[in-house]
Chain A
Amino acid sequence: MSELVVETQDLTKKYGNFTAVDGIDLQVRKGEIYGFLGPNGAGKSTTIRMLLGLVKPTRGDARIFGLSIRQSPMEILKRVGAIVESPSYYGNLTAVENLEITRRILGADKKEIDRVLEIVNLSQWKNKKVKNFSLGMKQRLAIAQALLGNRELLILDEPTNGLDPAGIHEIRQLIKNLPGMLGVTVLMSSHILSEVELTATSVGIISRGRLLFQGTLEELRRKSENEICIEAHPQDKALKFLESKGLKVKARGNRLFIKKNSLDAAALNRALVMEGFDVTHLSTEGKNLEDIFLEITGGDAI
């Protein structure tokens, strides 16, 4: 098991009676792109703000690089680049001046500014005031700020929010290449399932402040085990018959559903027919990630 870059224990934030984040245990491993997925208002931003020390946790702790954000925020933040609720900038300054603020605080080399501008493809607009930038350019500048000074962890809150399709594609591509190109670990939040599916290697699903699933994308897909769907008559007897064979059967409408696991659909069909049932429909159904997501979050739309 590789080294944990981000690890939270029982991280909780309450605003009065409202629990925005409820005992979250995040685990982000080195070198991965961790997609932090959840519907709007699920607690993603609050969690990210707690990781960055912008919001004080009510309970629990967040450890980044093994250090506690409560005790050593300066040591941690030196090594973390962040975008919090896109995009943040000083509009009266140019791209270079915005980066200069970051550079001075970090004490990084002057050359860093050109390097990160090159990565996000903003070099030709570097002396333009940022308030005149398009949203996509502002977002690229935000990523440049986060990359400046060879940071080891990037925390990106909704990095593609509000961008047009071309911009979304561009930013996703950029994020996807980061771990390979620069060796950074990325924690990105999103409310778009397909985005996480396309960019992330690991997923955490949060809904109403609770972390409902955490694992690799592969593990999430494995949850989409197929079901066998059967229409057999008479249905109640068929149900009893299948249950007597030790199968877990769920009846929905006029159909029976059985978890496929290693079951052979043909053998099942044969057994039913031999027993004298009329099988009028038999199919295997796979769930897509959308279905799994809805199942995990209990129907909260994304």
Chain B
Amino acid sequence: MIEVSGLTKQFDVRTVLNCLNLSIDTGEIFGLLGPNGAGKTTTIRLLTMLTKPSGGIIRINGLSFEKNEQQIKSLLGIVPQHLNLDIELTARENLELHGRLHGIPTAERNRRITELLEFVELTDRSGDMVQTFSGGMKRRLMIARALLHRPKVLFLDEPTVGLDPQVRRRIWELVRHLASEGMTVLLTTHYIEEAQALCQRVAIIDKGHLIALDTPQTLCQGLGEYVVDWEENEQRHNKFFPNRVDAASYSASLTTTVIIRRSNLEDVFVELTGRKVVER
């Protein structure tokens, strides 16, 4: 569904994305993982035509960006990181504006708006001005808006940032539901558990470079499925093992308190970059 080859973006002399190659299948939930400033949002902006690439090729559904701008735009649904709803309109009017911009006929548009407001549980607030909504409600409305024209690809840029755990899990459920219906989902996140819980494959980006790409399980197994954490001389240490038995026998040899746990994408990131995902 999405083919990216040699995608590069430079702002003056600063390279924010360097020769990215990706191929994302139809119906896949694909995650871009990395710290702030890694190049995740730039990648989304490039794939949604909000930013022009300095180099490389992008194809969506077999269509190249150069000649099929309007056609490609109608295939994409985008939920940006920032809240960009029109605060001078009601929830329903925001959806109506989007539907009109995408040329959805009136009867279908009205039916679809009603369905989606129900889907994101905002039916009873449909006539309220968006500025009275909480952050979670706005995020849900943005998802409804992105889905209104039945896009084939949904881009979610940090979809759960700043939301409480309950709302975050509701959005995860929505994303899984959409992918099960055949929609391709590309999401960026710096929440490790989000990438691990949702994504079938993950690309880890750091300083504009792709440093790993695989399923979360394979990336973790590459390090070792189990990890032993311990502290010594006020320094934290860890060691990876292919199974729990090996991890347990190693911990027995240590004289300090240890924690045995499963490895995760944070470990992968730290091993590959020497830094944590949430660090600058």
Whether both chains belong to one complex is answered with: no
Residue positions of A touching B, CB distance < 8 A: none
